[in-house]
Amino acid sequence: MKKPKRRKSVKRRNRKCRPDDRVDDAILWAPWRIEYIKNTRKEEGCIFCTKPSESDDRKNLILYRGRHVYIIMNRYPYNNGHLMVVPFQHTAALEDLSEPARLELMALLDLSQKTLSEVMHPQGFNIGMNIGRTAGAGIEEHLHFHVVPRWGGDTNFMPIVGHTKVISEALEETWEQLHSVMKHGPAVPKREGG
């Protein structure tokens, strides 16, 4: 019995690819991802508790602080403008929130969607919450909603073929645009000291 021949990687510039050739993944320069890659240590405590306790909202990507809930940008977004709406109260259970907190949660989800619509003009949204590790929660001990703007062309070949997600704008630039619209907030009272 003969051993199967091992395929060699294709050098694209030297010849055309054939259907049976193996093609190595191409490299896409995305220097902003190095922060995530190098950060091998897990942050102490809950980021949804520590970030709002700090005063530098721009550095922490916090767009708006309400009385019970705040809006923060996802540092490693699924798409440009990926926001999270988070209660200040550390809980994994929606039923643990007070009625005013649940009402403000909905008001800030609405503010997030309106602001993203005004600034980024998406064609749709994914809005939801993953409760528990099995459901996909990355931080399961502190509930939070995701608000992800979507466009017709945002699902393309790059994540499948290139194993790469392309984010076309720096987080700081997106923060500036969204914060300038969102800073006045919805018609709910703001948290004291925020």
pLDDT tens digits for 118-172?
Answer: 999 999 999 999 888 888 888 889 999 999 998 887 664 444 444 445 566 677 8
Q: In the prediction, which pLDDT does 65 show?
A: 96
Give the tokens for residue 175: 């923060």
Is the pTM higher than 0.75? The answer reads no
Q: In the prediction, which pLDDT does 161 show?
A: 41
Cα Rg for the chain, rounded, in angstroms?
21
List Cα–Cα distances, 55 to 82, 112, 131, 134, in angstroms.
22, 21, 28, 33
Q: In the prediction, which pLDDT does 10 show?
A: 44
Q: Are 100 and 108 in contact (CB under 8 A)?
A: no
Q: In the prediction, which pLDDT does 180 show?
A: 84
CA–CA gap between residue 174 and residue 59 (Å, rounded): 13
Q: Are 87 and 158 in contact (CB under 8 A)?
A: no
Low-confidence residues of the chain, pLDDT below 50?
A: 7, 9-14, 17, 21, 23-30, 156-164, 193-194
Q: In the prediction, which pLDDT does 66 show?
A: 95
How far does CA 114 lie from the centroid of its chain?
17
CA–CA gap between residue 190 and residue 69 (Å, rounded): 9
CATH topology for the 47-182 domain: HIT family, subunit A (3.30.428)
Beta bridge partners of 125: 149
Residues in the chain: 194
User: Of the residues 82, 144, 146, 179, which is catalytic?
Assistant: 144
Annotation says 144 is catalytic: yes
Q: In the prediction, which pLDDT does 194 show?
A: 46
